[in-house]
RNA sequence: GGCUACGUAGCUCAGUCGGUUAGAGCACAGCAUUCAUAAUGCUGGGGUCGGUGGUUCAAGUCCACCCGUAGCUACCA
């Protein structure tokens, strides 16, 4: 074993301060936390830092909508995030914010140094501008009709209906998503990071073992396309840091977000006396690892090393990317109740279950992992409750009742104990390589071995024989010692269960180095259940609760809640007054959704067969796949525009439209009539 | 459309450099057992390895094409 103490700095991606932590986020924090805890348990100096990512247009707008300052918003969200993390035993050594003095200074330093070395250029670009809000509009905040297929309400970058990509200026009838005004074009001077200056360095870097091979493959694309300049500035109004010497110009949030890793660490240094340069200086010998989702590889594997190198800081030792989380094989969905917030999960289930399940599925690759809820319950119950915890439970009774809690003075089966110790090496290697699923598999094989041992020795038979007291004590002590090793190996994954087990065993926190020393002639405490089974009803309740979360929020939106309503009205102002005759032209009818199905090849569409009674059936393509599944729509009554001119769409002819409210994505709500309405009835 | 991955038992996944009869856990069935939170042990059934074609003495593994899934496709956090 390598006894050298390593200096390791680990980060997880910074959660955006615009929403709650959900179980998808947790994959990454759990993965990082397990790895960091493992390193600490091995005796290394491992520091795990993170922060809230607090800047950008969405945060500015949300704060405005809520009628508070961005600072108030991010403070509130930060508290909430940290509470969720603490509940899941995510053990940060420091949690900070990108909206901090440390980050302002570091961002400025990094910018300044790159500027001095000719890595920043200034160029005037033309951008969409909202004349009402007096602000430039990011693509995401411009909506309009797709220039190719004519579908309305599309974002400025690509069409959700036909998949075409285009620039915002090509949209037909564009409107600002903030004010509803028609955007104008305006020129502005922007700051660009000249990524191409780093091409030789990056080409070498991405093939030097800092990245997973599939990630490096993917990045080749960018070199083939040619490295473009990266726009790192935004115009006021913007919530972020003003660029030194350039009033009303701000650093783009993605510039200062990764710098937040450094800032959080700097903040830790200032409080604890650690040496910042020892970790971030060009000559640093410390290891630096970023755990990230595969969606933000570009920022971390190209821009970030380039920025650092251009500012005379060290580059990361490695970037560890992971895949996304699906639930029951599908993307998390609010309507299915599988968009589960961390706080909702906690109301129903033990966080250790999820940590274990994620660990059991995580490898070092970037494939997505699936939370199959049935599998989740079976796996936790069988592995943790049935196998591991059960070993302590089935041995402790004898030790407690017959020997007053005292373990025997010698190991009954030193060879078996040694077998468990030997397995530790490969378990450690798998931890180190982030092959947690292999780690778990090996540990569970040992747990099976321990149960087999007890079964073989049959302590319950021996207990009935006289003069076999010593043998009984030895067998059960052996079982307890095997349990101790299993818990030791599982400790990075199950910190809370390990802590409870340490209380039961009456020992200090386990370290890897102590594992080979068995507990002999030692008193243990009374056994209390360390973990209980997952019940199907708990999972059911959690899913319902997630759905209710959504329902509650919807109710809040429809209620005349000042800020929320103002938000919607501000985004989409009430249209010009019309005459009744204009309204009468629209023939609205109650329709029954007779059939709903997915459309092959369509990302956003569902194909609906609407029944108006008397054999009148219409095929309608509706862009509501993001919010509804076909199953939940079938049989429902809704309201449709029955006399809309049929429109030829990519997948067929659409003969009308269903009415729905909401901004899109998960937040789409189709209208349904009150009880008693029948298909075909006219809405007037 | 292009690109990066993925597709193996009902479920979740292993399967290394191509090499005997494709493995594990869960679930299921039978038996044993009662120390343990209905936990444990033993035995068993279950697979056209997404499809088609190719390379090879030999293909789950390599190549091509197709189908399906996920993601990325740069001013979106």
Distance A651 CA to B66 C1' (A): 21
Average pLDDT over residues A426-449: 92
What confidence tier does A602 reach under pLDDT thresholds 50, 70, 90?
A: low
Percent of chain A with pLDDT over 70: 87
Distance A375 CA to B28 C1' (A): 15
Q: Which of A248-252, A357-361, A680-684 has the lowest mean pLDDT?
A: A680-684
Burial class (CB in 10 A: 0-12, 13-18, 19+), A431: buried
Residue nearest to nucleotide B33 (CA to C1'): A455
Nucleotide nearest to A252 (CA to C1'): B75
Per-residue pLDDT at A594: 79
Nucleotide nearest to A142 (CA to C1'): B76
Nucleotide nearest to A254 (CA to C1'): B77
The closest of A221, A187, A253 to A55, measured between CA atoms, is A253
Distance A652 CA to B61 C1' (A): 42
Nucleotide nearest to A444 (CA to C1'): B25
What does the buried/exposed string (b/e) look like for A502-538 if buried means 16 or more CB atoms within 10 Å of the residue's CB? bebbeeeebebeebeebbeebebeebeebbeebeeeb
CB A637 within 8 A of CB A672: yes
Per-residue pLDDT at A573: 45
Distance A36 CA to B16 C1' (A): 28
Per-residue pLDDT at A588: 81
Per-residue pLDDT at A597: 76
Answer yes or no: is pLDDT of A162 > 70.
no
Percent of chain A with pLDDT over 90: 55
Nucleotide nearest to A155 (CA to C1'): B76
What does the buried/exposed string (b/e) look like for A227-250 if buried means 16 or more CB atoms within 10 Å of the residue's CB? bebbbbbbbeebbbbebeeeeebb
Answer yes or no: is pLDDT of A612 > 70.
yes
Mean of the per-residue pLDDT values of chain A? 86
Answer yes or no: is pLDDT of A248 > 80.
yes
Distance A542 CA to B22 C1' (A): 39
Rounded distance, CA A316 to CA A262, Å? 12
pTM of the model: 0.81
What confidence tier does A649 reach under pLDDT thresholds 50, 70, 90?
A: low
Per-residue pLDDT at A646: 59
Residue A260 or A370, more confident: A260
What confidence tier does A337 reach under pLDDT thresholds 50, 70, 90?
A: confident
What does residue A591 show for φ and ψ, rounded to 5 degrees?
-135, 150
Burial class (CB in 10 A: 0-12, 13-18, 19+), A153: middle
CB A87 within 8 A of CB A351: yes
What confidence tier does A681 reach under pLDDT thresholds 50, 70, 90?
A: confident
Per-residue pLDDT at A178: 84
Distance A294 CA to B6 C1' (A): 14
Distance A299 CA to B74 C1' (A): 10
Answer yes or no: is pLDDT of A89 > 60.
yes
Q: Hey, which of A164-168, A549-553, A586-590 has the most confident mean pLDDT?
A: A586-590
What does residue A87 show for φ and ψ, rounded to 5 degrees?
-65, -25
Residue A436, token pair as written in the block:
């947690």
Q: Hey, which of A324-333, A508-517, A556-565 has the most confident mean pLDDT?
A: A508-517
What confidence tier does A153 reach under pLDDT thresholds 50, 70, 90?
A: confident
Nucleotide nearest to A61 (CA to C1'): B77
Per-residue pLDDT at A684: 75
Residue nearest to nucleotide B6 (CA to C1'): A367
Cβ neighbors of A163 (< 8 A, separation 6 or more) are A603
Distance A221 CA to B2 C1' (A): 10
ipTM of model? 0.90
Q: Which nucleotides of B are covered by protein (CB under 7 A)?
A: 1-6, 11-14, 24-27, 33-37, 39-42, 68-77
Rounded distance, CA A13 to CA A81, Å? 13
Nucleotide nearest to A139 (CA to C1'): B76
Cβ neighbors of A376 (< 8 A, separation 6 or more) are A353, A354, A357, A534, A539
Distance A433 CA to B20 C1' (A): 32
What confidence tier does A651 reach under pLDDT thresholds 50, 70, 90?
A: low
Q: Kindly report each contact of residues A495-502 with a partner whose C-beta sits within 8 Å and lies 24 or more positions away, as own/partner.
A: A495/A37, A495/A89, A495/A91, A496/A89, A496/A351, A496/A352, A497/A352, A497/A384, A497/A389, A497/A530, A497/A531, A500/A528, A500/A530, A501/A392, A501/A530
What confidence tier does A600 reach under pLDDT thresholds 50, 70, 90?
A: low
Distance A446 CA to B26 C1' (A): 17
Residue nearest to nucleotide B77 (CA to C1'): A16
Average pLDDT over residues A595-611: 73
Per-residue pLDDT at A567: 44
Nucleotide nearest to A196 (CA to C1'): B74
């Amino acid at each position: 074993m390598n006894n050298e103490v390593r200096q390791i700095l680990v980060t997880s991606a910074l959660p955006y301060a615009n929403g709650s932590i959900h179980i998808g986020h947790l994959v990454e924090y759990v993965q990082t936390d397990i790895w960091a805890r493992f390193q600490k348990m091995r005796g290394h100096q491992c520091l795990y830092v993170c922060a809230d990512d607090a800047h950008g247009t969405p945060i500015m707008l949300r704060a405005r909508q809520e009628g508070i300052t961005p600072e108030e918003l991010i403070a509130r969200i930060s508290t909430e995030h940290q509470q969720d993390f603490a509940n899941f035993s995510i053990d940060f050594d420091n949690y900070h914010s990108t909206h901090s003095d440390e980050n302002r200074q570091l961002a400025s330093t990094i910018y300044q140094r790159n500027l001095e070395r000719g890595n920043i250029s200034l160029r005037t670009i033309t951008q969409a501008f909202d004349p009402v809000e007096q602000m430039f509009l990011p693509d995401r905040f411009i909506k309009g009709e797709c220039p190719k297929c004519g579908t309305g309400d599309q974002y400025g970058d690509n069409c959700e209906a036909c998949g075409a990509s285009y620039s915002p200026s090509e949209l037909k009838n564009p409107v600002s998503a903030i004010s509803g005004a028609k955007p104008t074009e305006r020129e502005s001077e922007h700051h660009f990071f000249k990524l191409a200056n780093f091409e030789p360095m990056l080409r070498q870097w991405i093939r030097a073992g800092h990245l997973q091979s599939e990630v490096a493959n993917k990045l080749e694309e960018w070199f083939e396309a040619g490295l473009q300049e990266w726009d790192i500035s935004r115009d006021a109004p913007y919530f972020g840091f003003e660029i030194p010497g350039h009033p009303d110009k701000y650093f783009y949030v993605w510039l200062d977000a990764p710098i937040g890793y450094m800032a959080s660490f700097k903040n830790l240094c200032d409080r604890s006396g650690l040496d910042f340069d020892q970790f971030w200086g060009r000559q640093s010998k410390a290891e630096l690892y970023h755990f990230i989702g595969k969606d933000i590889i570009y920022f971390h594997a190209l821009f970030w090393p380039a920025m650092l190198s251009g500012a005379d800081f060290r580059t990361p030792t490695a970037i560890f990317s992971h895949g996304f989380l699906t639930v029951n094989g599908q993307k998390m969905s609010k309507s299915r109740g599988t968009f589960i917030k961390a706080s909702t999960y906690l109301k129903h289930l033990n966080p250790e279950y999820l940590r274990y399940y994620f660990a059991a599925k995580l490898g070092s690759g970037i494939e997505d992992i699936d939370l199959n809820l049935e599998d989740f319950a079976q796996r936790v119950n069988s592995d943790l409750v049935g196998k591991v915890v059960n070993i302590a439970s089935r041995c402790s009774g004898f030790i407690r009742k017959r020997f007053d809690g005292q373990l025997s003075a010698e190991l009954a089966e030193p060879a078996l104990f040694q077998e468990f110790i030997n397995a530790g090496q490969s378990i450690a290697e798998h931890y180190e390589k982030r092959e947690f699923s292999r780690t778990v598999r090996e540990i569970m094989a040992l747990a099976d071995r321990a149960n087999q041992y007890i079964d073989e020795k049959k302590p319950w038979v021996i207990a009935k024989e006289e003069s076999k007291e010593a043998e009984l004590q030895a067998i059960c002590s052996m079982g307890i010692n095997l349990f101790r090793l299993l818990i030791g190996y599982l400790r990075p994954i199950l910190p809370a269960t390990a802590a409870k087990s340490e209380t039961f065993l009456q020992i200090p926190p386990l370290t890897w180095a102590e594992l080979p020393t068995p507990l002999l002639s030692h008193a243990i405490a009374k056994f209390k259940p360390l973990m209980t089974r997952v019940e199907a009803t708990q999972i059911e309740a959690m899913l319902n609760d997630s759905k209710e979360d959504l329902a509650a929020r919807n109710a809040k939106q429809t209620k005349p809640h000042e800020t929320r309503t103002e938000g919607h009205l501000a985004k989409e102002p009430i249209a010009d007054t019309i005459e009744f005759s204009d309204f009468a032209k629209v023939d609205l009818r109650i329709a029954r959704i007779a059939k709903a199905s997915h459309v092959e090849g369509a990302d956003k569409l569902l194909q609906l067969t609407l029944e108006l009674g008397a054999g009148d059936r219409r095929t309608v393509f509706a862009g509501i796949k993001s919010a509804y599944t076909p199953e939940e729509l079938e049989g429902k009554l809704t309201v449709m525009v029955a006399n809309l001119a049929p429109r030829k769409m990519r997948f067929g002819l659409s003969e009308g439209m269903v009415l729905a409210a909401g901004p899109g994505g998960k937040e789409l709500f189709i209208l349904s009539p009150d009880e008693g309405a029948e298909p075909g009835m006219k809405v007037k």
